[in-house]
Structure formats: structure tokens, C-alpha cells
Structure 1
């Protein structure tokens, strides 16, 4: 009886340290929204109107595979990441191979986001430059450094519950950006015109890549699931 009480207290302590359902929802929303939303019009213009179906298809695949990940993690408590799944399925070589691809994907996405932020900020502040130790830094390089310094502290957070507050800001920023686009289209006279082909085979690969990029944060799903105080609620997100 005493050991059961200790186990209950231990599990309760773990749940209190985890991220609750509400904060996890914001973390998931923040990972799946953002620059992908603003790139959708360009993706549709490249692949045609029917290419928008790819976004729905990728969303269904991501949802289904996330549920499969949860099932794998529930069946084997040792599974905490994609690398662990590779280890269970294919041994050490599988773990190493999957870990390489996952870390490489995360690194390349980080680099791509830094470059994208630098491009946008350079257009807003074209004359931004500074000199440090006699080295002149300006343009995109300047904003890449500033953006990296601003984002770096968030990577030190060990508790995703604290990161949820940053995710809330990201979600509301995405909502504001969507509102700005709708305002420009409807109120400022730009308008929405039903132009373009039903399907454009030449640009379909481009639109496919952009739509797939919208779900690139799928590699973080095991981490988000493990961060929850009650992992049984993951399928409800």
C-alpha cells in the first residue's frame, strides 16, 4: 500500500511539472502556423487552384501519423522521439539514420527561417548596419545576427509550459497578419480576383514543397507529447 501511494505521488508530481492541455494547444498551433499561411497564395498561383487540395492531404497525413506516434509511445514507454522508434524498429543503425535526418531537418529549417526574417527586415529597414571591431556588418547579415540573438534564449527553455507564452504571441501574430492581408485585399482596393489555371503542372512541385513546409514542425510532435502532464489528451488536440 505504501509503495502504491509513493507511485501515485510520483506520478502526480510528474503531471504537475508537465504542460497542461491549454498550453500544449498553443504550442501546436504556433508550430503549424506562421510563414506557411502567407506563402499559400503563392503556392496556389504556382500549382493552380486544385493544388490547394495538397494542403488538406498533407494535413490529414500529419494528423494520422501523429496519432500513430502517440500509439507507439503509449505501447513502449522507452519511446520518446523518432530516433527511439528507429531503434525499436531497426536497431542502432535505424536510430542513427533517423536521428541524422531529424536533426538535419531542424537545423535547415532554423537556417531558412533566419534567412527569411532577414529578407523581410531588410526591406523594412534598408539602411540598417553597424560596425564591430572594425568589421562592417549590414543588410541581411545584420538582421540574421539580431534575429538569432533574439531567438536563442527561447532554445534554453526546458519547460514547454514556459514556451507556451511565446507561442501565444506567435498565434496572435499570425491572426494579425491574416487580418492585414484580408484588409488590404478587401478594403484597400486590391481585391480578390479569380485568376489562374485550375491546375498548373509545371509549378505543382513548387506548391507541393510549400504546402509540405507548413507541416515541417511534425518532427516536434514526440517532444510536445512528452511535455504534456497528461499524455492521454494528446489525441484531443
Structure 2
């Protein structure tokens, strides 16, 4: 696998948030990445599509839930440090899956791998929903007749975007796309500034007072906040790529501080602009006749098209590796790629609720990969369970809270999805 996809692995490891999609293959080379570039890569991974749903998260939980955003930021920063500490215990660790195997054997590796691949699959599906929502909001076309079937405009745009994206999934060398997706940090900044401009200079203003707290919406808010900080599968790759690994803790600190400022700013701006009426993607609330709004929407539309292939390709490679050697050819590659894209389209058409799907990812998967697994793996590798100290107590408390968050958030997300079907 590594020889066949060596260039692919190297490109993703040295460039962008696509690095977090590599969960099982050891890196082919040492990138010797500087402190600044590692900060850029880490911030690019943490600052993703969660920026669009963060105002909806705040509206779901109310103003007091903003405290939980900072709490989750601190907890996920700490669990990021635990991943670093696990890697310090064994120089042979290269990926997140290696940490799982060192702690719990093959079951640990399998758990980590399944969790991350499922996350990648659902986030890719979310990209299609996001594209369909925003394009149908931009272009108010009627139903499309295809072979006697009436297709709604949102469904039409989901299928159209999937057809546009499909050729990029056929590629095995995604170097170009990985560098294009490096614009993610700048894209996030452009979205925040454009929406701020719309509120300040284009007549919307900050007139909504909001609500202090929505107790029923707290699980949804927590799940979406956790989704925003779910980049831990990338951290081992970032750590191994650094020229000076002793600086990794500082890298995490810089990334989490900047990402938290960005998320909190977007949450407050969006909630003050639209209050309880804010959509699961704040871009759906923006007036389409304003240039600043269109800049935010077009920037939102561009990133998923570049990132979809980066998210889905590791799953494609994993599935192909399960096949006998005689079936590993270009035809099989195209077939597997097509089936994967079709499956995400089917789910996007069946569950077209971006906010609730991302809430499910946050509660079920990001809580697992970003909170529970780092704690449990470190607990086992460091044998902290044999020592009674403050760190041990802190980890036990975080695990218990993580389990509570995961169960309640998953239940609420599934309940909302079923309710809106």
C-alpha cells in the first residue's frame, strides 16, 4: 500500500487538514516542518465547516452554553496533550491507530480506525448537504424532470455537486487538491469577515438579544462544539512532521487559542444577527443581494468541493486493500470510488439536515476520538490507574463527562433527525 500510494501519503502529510484522514499508514518521510507551518496546518484542521454551524449551536443552548464552548476547547486541548504524551512513550508510534494498538492491541487499532473512517464518511456526506442547501438558496429553480421523475432543487444540486466531485475521487495523487484545501484557514477568515461586514455595513445589525439558556438544546450545543474541535486524528502526524517536537505543546496552544477565538466570534456575531432564527448553516440567513453575503456563500461552497476527495479517499484505499490482489486495478478503483460517492449522496438525500448530522458526528464520533480515546489510551499506556494523583482524577472525570455527553448528544441528534424525516 505504501509503495503504491507513497506520493499521495507524502503530499497529505506535508500540506493540510487532509492529513487527519491518514490513520493507518506510516509516513514515508520526515517533513521537518517548522513551528509556524505546523501551527498553520493544525489551525487549518481545527477550523473547518464547524464555523458555519457554531451560531446554530449557540442558539440551541443559549448564551450560557458559550461557557461550554470554552470548557470543551480546554478539554480537547488537554486530550491533545495526552496524545503527545502517548507518543513520547514509544518512538515507533506514527499514527493515531498506533496509539490505539499500543494501548489495547488490535481491538484498539480497529476501534480508532472505524471511528475515524466513519467520521470521514459522515463529514463527506455533510459536505454534500451543505452544497445542496446553499446552492438551492442561491438559485431558485423549479423542479427538474428526469426520466419522468420530479427532482426538487436541493436534491438536484446535491446530485450535481456529486457528479462534479466524482472525477476528483478517481485520482490517487491528490497533491494539487491538498494544496488547494490549504486555503481553509483563509477561507474561514473570509467567511467571518464577510458576515461581520454584512451585519455592520449592509443593514442587518446586531439587534437580536437571544435567550440566556435553552436546557433542552444543551446536548445539541455540546455536540456541535465538540465537532468543531475534533481534529485529534491529525495530531500524531503533525507531531511526527515537526522539526522540533518539543514545541508541539506550544503548537497546540496557539491553534486552540486562535480556533476558539474564531469560533466564539462567529457564534456571537451570528446569534446577535439572527437570534433563534439562525439556520444550521448561518450562510442560509444571509441576504443574497449583498456582495459581502455572496462572498461568504461562495467561499463556503468552494472548500467542500476541494476537501471531499481528501476525506473519502482514505476510505477508498482501505476498502481496496480488503480486496484480493487480482482485483486491485483502475476499474476497481473507479467502481469503489463511484459506490462511495453514491452512498454519500443517498444519505445526503435521505437525511438532509446539516446541523443535526454534524451534531451526531460530534456526539458519537468526535467525543470518542477527541475525548474518550485519548484519555483511555493514555490511562492504559502510562498506567495512571496504578497511581492516585490529580491527573488520574482529572482523566476519570473527563471520561465520565465524555460518556454522558456522547450518550445524551447522540440521543438528541438521532431524535431530531427522526423527528424531521
| Superimposed CA distance per residue, residues 112-148 of structure 1 (whole angstroms, 9 cap, x where no aligned partner) | 22322332234334559x9xxxxx9942111133245
Q: Distance in 2 between matches of 1:44 and 1:33?
A: 17
Q: Distance in 1 between matches of 2:183 and 2:175?
A: 19
CA, structure 1 residues 214+206, in 2 after alignment: closer, same or farther (shift >3 Å)?
same
CA, structure 1 residues 223+47, in 2 after alignment: closer, same or farther (shift >3 Å)?
same
Aligned partner of 2:59 in structure 1 is 45
CA contact (8 A) 1:49 1:196 kept: yes
Aligned partner of 1:140 in structure 2 is 158
Aligned partner of 1:214 in structure 2 is 228
The residue correspondences of 1:160-179 to structure 2 (distance < 5 A) are 163=178, 165-166=179-180, 168-179=182-193
CA, structure 1 residues 21+125, in 2 after alignment: closer, same or farther (shift >3 Å)?
farther
Given candidates 230, 233, 246, the residue that maps to 1:232 is 246
The residue correspondences of 1:82-231 to structure 2 (distance < 5 A) are 82-125=96-139, 138-147=156-165, 149=167, 152=169, 156-157=173-174, 163=178, 165-166=179-180, 168-231=182-245
Aligned length: 217
Q: Distance in 2 between matches of 1:109 and 1:26?
A: 21
CA, structure 1 residues 147+122, in 2 after alignment: closer, same or farther (shift >3 Å)?
farther
CA contact (8 A) 2:131 2:157 kept: no
CA contact (8 A) 1:118 1:147 kept: no
Cα deviation, residue 23, structure 1: 2.0
Q: Distance in 2 between matches of 1:45 and 1:109?
A: 22
Cα deviation, residue 182, structure 1: 0.8
Q: Distance in 2 between matches of 1:176 and 1:46?
A: 25
Question: Mean Cα displacement is larger for which, 42-51 or 75-84?
Answer: 75-84
Question: Mean Cα displacement is larger for which, 85-94 or 199-208?
Answer: 85-94
RMSD, aligned CA: 3.1
Cα deviation, residue 214, structure 1: 0.5
CA contact (8 A) 1:48 1:196 kept: yes
Using the size of structure 2 for normalisation, the TM-score is 0.46
| Superimposed CA distance per residue, residues 80-122 of structure 1 (whole angstroms, 9 cap, x where no aligned partner) | 2222222222222222222222222222222222322332234
Unmatched 5+ residue regions in structure 2? Answer: 1-28, 145-150, 252-421
Cα deviation, residue 50, structure 1: 0.7
CA contact (8 A) 2:34 2:242 kept: yes
Unmatched 5+ residue regions in structure 1? Answer: 1-13, 131-135
CA, structure 1 residues 149+30, in 2 after alignment: closer, same or farther (shift >3 Å)?
farther
CA, structure 1 residues 43+233, in 2 after alignment: closer, same or farther (shift >3 Å)?
same
CA, structure 1 residues 168+85, in 2 after alignment: closer, same or farther (shift >3 Å)?
closer
Using the size of structure 1 for normalisation, the TM-score is 0.78
Question: Mean Cα displacement is larger for which, 180-189 or 138-147?
Answer: 138-147
CA, structure 1 residues 158+189, in 2 after alignment: closer, same or farther (shift >3 Å)?
closer
Q: Is 1:34 matched up with 2:52?
A: no
Q: Distance in 1 between matches of 2:54 and 2:190?
A: 16
Q: Distance in 2 between matches of 1:147 and 1:215?
A: 26
**SS of the residue 1:216 aligns to:** coil
